Amino acid sequence: MENTRNYSAENLYAQMGISEKVWKRGEEVCDALKDRFEAFDRTAEANQLKVIGAMQKNRISAEHFIGSTGYGYNDAGRDDLEKVYADTFHTEDALVRTQITCGTHALSLALAANLRPGDELVSVSGKPYDTLEEVIGIRESRGSLAEYGITYRQVELKEDGSFDFEAIESALRPNTRLAAIQRSKGYLTRPSLSVEQIGEAIRFIKDLCPDILVMVDNCYGEFVDCVEPSDFGADMTVGSLIKNPGGGLAPMGGYIAGTKECIENCAVRLTSPGLGREVGASLEANRSLYQGFFLAPTVTAGALKGAVFAANLFEQSGFRCIPGGSERRNDIIQAIEFGTPDGLIRFCEGIQAAAPVDSYVMPQPWAMPGYDSDVIMAAGAFIQGSSIELSADGPLHEPYAAYFQGGLTWYHAKFGILKAYQNLMDAGLIRLS
């Protein structure tokens, strides 16, 4: 009987450094979120069936898990995985490749493949994510789109985070070739965009100029809803396999799902004219890519639970959370404003201390490639940089916001949030009565 008592949840959390006060506060928050959690599970169920249906339609078998080497000719596992993605996202085609190194690379590829000198790129969702600034040429960089004569403008979102349709109409010109929409907030404290909002913007742009391509940066948004931007007419929906769709198992890679014309352009740009999608060895990755995609709906649901739990817990202690604890979720990212460098650093230290890998490491702010200020990152992950795993990061400037995401299981996400909360309390930045 004594042994059973020692394995109670409260005792186990105490052994992991969570005080009784913090644990009880966490349990109170969890109890109030049961209905929200059930809604996330229903979305995961719908998406799980969608993925299974796509895999069954394409007759996936054990032979698909065998990788290729060298040129990668006739890699059925690689080619049919792309069909699975296309069917899941309801697009004509998809490019899913381990040779795409990250989300920024996938976006850069999609832009460079479908823009030509003299074309104009317009972001209709305001400032893009930091790492795209050098891709576009907002910040001068070797090989940027600007160096190839591609111009850029952006339309800011309204104060409430919605699209400014009047400004979008004014921004579109005869040489506007591509309109970009970023679903997630990035390192901003604006709301992330819902699929319905994105769909409304796509319809508006297409009604005005049917030939303009619309690309959606879908990073952190896959499987959060039962529909994707591609269901609303996006020409390209783009993301990273070490975020939601990789399910924590994909070791690398990115995807672009969209029209056949756009995807063929991307394939040629990724490899070489005349070779296109026929080359690109998958090595031993196919099994992980399939299995990760299969698990992705459930993993995403766990990450959503963690985000909502974090927002409700930290709001109770007076911190501004974006989105708020009761607001709708459009991606897995939870921003928490601390207002001071110490608050941001302490939060990230707590997340790192909860990791299964490198929990003993103390994260330090540093000048990460592609960013214009020092960034602190907590990521004790099985896959380096995987942000579907429990992770948090933020730039060292006002408002000193932490961007928390991921958790391969809800229970790990919960523990990480409690550990971060405990760390701030121990530092005197949070007080519990």
DSSP 8-state assignment for residue 328:
P
Q: Please confirm whether the linkage preceding 323 is cis (ω < 30° from 0).
A: yes
pLDDT band at 433 (very low <50, low <70, confident <90, very high): confident
Show the tokens assigned to 421.
């909360």
Structure confidence at residue 188 (pLDDT):
81
Q: Which residues contact 189 (CB under 8 A, 6 or more apart)?
A: 322, 335, 337, 399, 401
Do the beta carbons of residue 402 and residue 416 sit within 8 Å? no
3-state secondary structure of 31: helix
Q: Which residues in the chain are classed under CATH 3.40.640.10?
A: 68-283
Q: Can you name the residues that pair with 97 across neighbouring β-strands? A: 254
Structure confidence at residue 352 (pLDDT):
97
* Range 106-109 contact pairs with CB under 8 angstroms and sequence separation of 24 or more: 106/238, 106/239, 106/240, 106/254, 106/255, 106/256, 107/132, 107/135, 107/215, 107/217, 107/238, 108/132, 108/135, 109/254, 109/256, 109/266, 109/269, 109/270
Do the beta carbons of residue 224 and residue 275 sit within 8 Å? no
Structure confidence at residue 369 (pLDDT):
72
Mean pLDDT of 76-96: 98
Between CA 91 and CA 82 the distance in angstroms is 11
Do the beta carbons of residue 350 and residue 420 sit within 8 Å? yes
Mean pLDDT, the chain, whole residue set: 95
Q: Is the pLDDT of residue 368 over 80?
A: no
Show the tokens assigned to 260.
């056949």
Residue 368: count of CB within 10 angstroms of its CB: 16
Assign residue 49 a region: left if phi > 0, alpha if psi is -120 to 50, beta otherwise?
Answer: alpha
Structure confidence at residue 1 (pLDDT):
44
Residue with tokens 């929409």: 181
Per-residue CA distances from 20 to 12, 124, 184, 282, 411 (Å): 11, 47, 35, 49, 18
Percent of all residues in the chain with a pLDDT value above 90, rounded to a whole number:
93
Mean pLDDT of 247-251: 98
Between CA 29 and CA 312 the distance in angstroms is 7
Between CA 114 and CA 236 the distance in angstroms is 10
Mean pLDDT of 251-266: 98
Backbone angles phi, psi at 220, to 5 degrees: 75, 0
pLDDT band at 432 (very low <50, low <70, confident <90, very high): confident
Q: 68-283 sits in which CATH class?
A: alpha beta
pLDDT band at 373 (very low <50, low <70, confident <90, very high): confident
390: enclosing H helix or E strand: none
Structure confidence at residue 118 (pLDDT):
98
Q: For residue range 28-83, list pLDDT tens digits in order.
A: 999 999 999 999 999 999 999 999 999 999 999 999 999 999 999 999 999 999 99
Q: Which residues in the chain are classed under CATH 3.90.1150.60?
A: 2-46+294-426
Structure confidence at residue 160 (pLDDT):
93
Q: Is the pLDDT of residue 4 over 60?
A: no
Between CA 418 and CA 13 the distance in angstroms is 9
3-state secondary structure of 401: strand
Q: For residue range 404-427, list pLDDT tens digits in order.
A: 999 999 999 999 999 999 999 999
Structure confidence at residue 341 (pLDDT):
95
Do the beta carbons of residue 324 and residue 335 sit within 8 Å? no
* Range 27-31 contact pairs with CB under 8 angstroms and sequence separation of 24 or more: 29/309, 29/312, 29/313, 29/316, 30/309, 30/414
Q: Does domain 2-46+294-426 have CATH number 3.40.50.620?
A: no
b or e along 4-15 (b: 16 or more beta carbons within 10 Å of the residue's beta carbon)?
eeeeeeeeebee
Q: Please confirm whether the linkage preceding 191 is cis (ω < 30° from 0).
A: no
Show the tokens assigned to 124.
């209709």
DSSP 8-state assignment for residue 139:
S
Q: For residue range 151-194, list pLDDT tens digits in order.
A: 999 999 999 999 999 999 999 999 999 999 999 988 788 899 99
Q: Is the pLDDT of residue 24 over 70?
A: yes
Between CA 68 and CA 46 the distance in angstroms is 33
Q: Is the pLDDT of residue 294 over 90?
A: yes
Residue with tokens 């690109």: 280
Residue 20: count of CB within 10 angstroms of its CB: 10
Q: Is the pLDDT of residue 3 over 60?
A: no
Do the beta carbons of residue 257 and residue 215 sit within 8 Å? no
Instruction: Tell which wins on pLDDT, 88 or 432.
Output: 88
Q: Is the pLDDT of residue 6 over 70?
A: no
